Amino acid sequence: DAGVTQSPTHLIKTRGQQVTLRCSPKSGHDTVSWYQQALGQGPQFIFQYYEEEERQRGNFPDRFSGHQFPNYSSELNVNALLLGDSALYLCASSLEYSSQETQYFGPGTRLLVL
Amino acid sequence: DAKTTQPPSMDCAEGRAANLPCNHSTISGNEYVYWYRQIHSQGPQYIIHGLKNNETNEMASLIITEDRKSSTLILPHATLRDTAVYYCIVRGLGQAGTALIFGKGTTLSVSS
């Protein structure tokens, strides 16, 4: 158990809808990264939040947005859902300024877009 | 793109050592080698990481060649629960803001 929690575990939406996924980092961690994993592929980096700001972003459209709260928890929002957004969404937490900043992953939220 | 190359699949008998290779010939001097694994439909699990010295923890050992261009993850006594996709990732030191770049990994199948 990495100590990272995500909610909900599963979600079904229809095309065009909006979705919000939530992540609570491991105790003591201050940095949250989000990844998308399509079936049969490795996880792909979406973005990372530190000090409530987006610090780095992968190759994802603006439909994907996020937020980090003062308690370091984070949300991932996806607008105008497409069928191709169906995937496992993973949250990983780490500690800035630790020795090697290892990222620890949560169990993921499986999103199905119909 | 991922900076590492791994075989797509490997088999191992239960109780035997599983040796998973990884090639990272373009690794820089300040880059670590990280290993994660992902059991079906779960989040990736951190296993171990190293810079240039061999490392061991309760899960595995990491052997890095002297020129740092390749490494091997060793699971000393594989069990059925070690069946998973194993990812080898290269990542810079002091770069907490950098993403983990996953390749396709190695699917390890442990059988009795």
Contacts of B38 (CB under 8 A, 6+ apart): B44, B45, B84, B85, B87, B105
Q: What is the mean pLDDT of residues A97-110?
A: 85
From A80's Cα to the closest Cα of chain B, the distance in A is 25
**C-beta atoms of B102 and A42 within 8 A:** yes
In angstroms, the separation between the Cα of residue B43 and the nearest Cα of chain A is 4
The pLDDT value recorded for residue A98 is 65
Q: Is residue A97 predicted with pLDDT exceeding 80? A: no
- Spatial distance between the Cα atoms of B31 and B110, rounded to a whole number of angstroms: 30
Q: What is the pLDDT of residues A28-72, one digit of tens each?
A: 999 999 999 999 899 999 999 999 999 889 999 999 999 999 999
A 10 A CB-CB count for A104 gives 21
What pLDDT shows up at residue B30? 83
The predicted structure's pLDDT at residue B95: 54
Tell me which DSSP letter residue A52 carries: T
Closest residue in B to A53 (Cα) is: B97
CA distance A14 to chain B (A): 22
3-state secondary structure of A83: helix
Place of tokens 């000393």: B76
How many beta-carbon pairs below 8 A join chains A and B? 68
A47 vs A43: CA distance, rounded Å: 12
Amino acid at A60: F
Bridge partners (DSSP) of residue A68 are A74
Contact of B80 with B69, CB cutoff 8 Å: no
Rounded percentage of chain A residues whose pLDDT exceeds 70: 96
> Which chain A residue lies closest to B30 (C-alpha atoms)?
A100
Q: Do A103 and B46 touch (CB under 8 A)?
A: yes
pLDDT digits (tens, 9 = 90+) for B47-93: 999 999 899 999 999 999 999 999 999 999 999 999 999 999 998 76
Contact B44 A90 (CB under 8 A): yes
